[in-house]
A and B are shown apart, each in its own frame.
Chain A
């Protein structure tokens, strides 16, 4: 199945993984990448800049109603949930926290599953709560594809461990194999 969107979710311990994976992602990928990370809203972080210098792909923090383009990386801003309005545009939302988190990984994953269905791919990384697990389950229910960081390699293994238990047949990946798996997605039709 072709991929229309790649979602990456993570919490504690996920930034080091991203800094390892993003540089090895091909610049000709045929889909946008949306990254949802738990982070503090203040002080303003330099995360977008940090990710930007790690990859040749363009990286930007999203603005409201921004149109998504293939081959670009979009970072969900601190203190907003990100939803998909349709297949090309996003909507931000400051409603109640979900799983004590805003942005919540579940909110974005669930929204993607309902919009992109079986053309959704999601990767869940290291983290200390179970945000993202329900979203992954929904993506699988919509016949999308799910990748989980091998908990053994995670700085904080609770999040990927919970995901693995909820989805025993999901693909488990060590960080060094993630970029390959992502680059392969463009060959599926």
Chain B
């Protein structure tokens, strides 16, 4: 796709202030470089020729907001992305959590749900699913609705199946879904212990205490101050000796929490100390 440069920095600030004031969605602490690309992209897709047109649409048409939020947040995800990470969960982290009477897991920024379903597969295979509950949240109600259906493009299954095998999976991956035309519908036994709901990491507070929080490739879209704020939210939501997992290129280093966490060797997983 062509890259456009319709939106200027000061115009972007203006628009984000509007969205925050009118609708209560605060994107002002999102990383500017990424956000600017998303705003240019939405202008291109929705055929808005100028910043003024985009602003008019957003400010005057509340029904457009949902689409705006959907398009400026990145919803690219996959099942078992970074297979080594899932292997570590399967072989080390989840079995340790298995000693707890009940396992609460929060997938923060779950997008269309691929990670939540991946975790459900792992838990089922190591016989912990019956005593687990996965809270999968996202800022964006449209993706939450999609996620709760458990329907993914059939064309992705070859790659997901390869990821699954690299992550230590030994079953036939196609046994987890029913293929219909060009879609793969995952079995309801996988989603029955996943609670999908909206949650805004910027403005909503802690809502439970978890043994594992996954927030992978979400914080890259936030500036450092907002990252620190979200780290504090996770800290308040994590039981002692339990785990926080970040994306492959994200880190707890440089944050004020670092001294109270221990990084799991070779992984972007941190254990909260006592």
Contact = CB atoms under 8 A, between A and B. Distances in A.
A169 interface: no
A94 B76 contact: yes
A134 B249 contact: no
Interface in A63-110: 63-65, 77, 80, 83-85, 91-96, 98, 106-107, 110
Interface stretch (B11-19, B31-39, B91-99, B169-177): B31-39
Nearest to B5: A114
Interface string A110-144: 11001000000000000000000010001000000
Most interface-central of A44, A80, A93, A106 (chain B CB within 10 A): A93
B250 interface: yes
Given A42-B166, A106-B3, A94 B220 contact: yes
B217 A94 contact: yes
Contacts of A83: 31, 33-34, 37
Interface string B251-268: 100000000000000000
A92 B227 CA distance: 14
Interface string B1-34: 1110100000000000000000000000001111
B220 A64 contact: yes
Contacts, number: 67
B64 interface: no
Nearest to A93: B34
A94 B31 CA distance: 13
Contacts of A96: 1, 76
A36 B72 CA distance: 24
B33 A64 contact: no
A24 to B, nearest CB: 30
B248 interface: yes
Contacts of B32: 85
Contacts of A65: 220, 224, 227
B3 A107 contact: yes
A84 B3 contact: no
Nearest to B219: A64
A62 interface: yes
B114 to A, nearest CB: 12
Contacts of B1: 96, 98
Most chain-A CB neighbours within 10 Å: which of B2, B166, B220, B250? B220
Contact of B249 (A42, A43, A77): A77
B83 interface: yes
Contacts of A64: 219-220, 247, 249-251
Interface string B77-103: 000001110000000000000000000
B84 A44 contact: yes
B34 A91 contact: yes
Given A84-B33, A91-B31, A94-B247, 8 more contacts: A64-B247, A80-B249, A83-B31, A85-B32, A91-B221, A93-B34, A107-B37, A134-B2
Interface of B: 1-3, 5, 31-34, 37-38, 74, 76, 82-84, 163, 166, 217, 219-221, 224, 227, 247-251
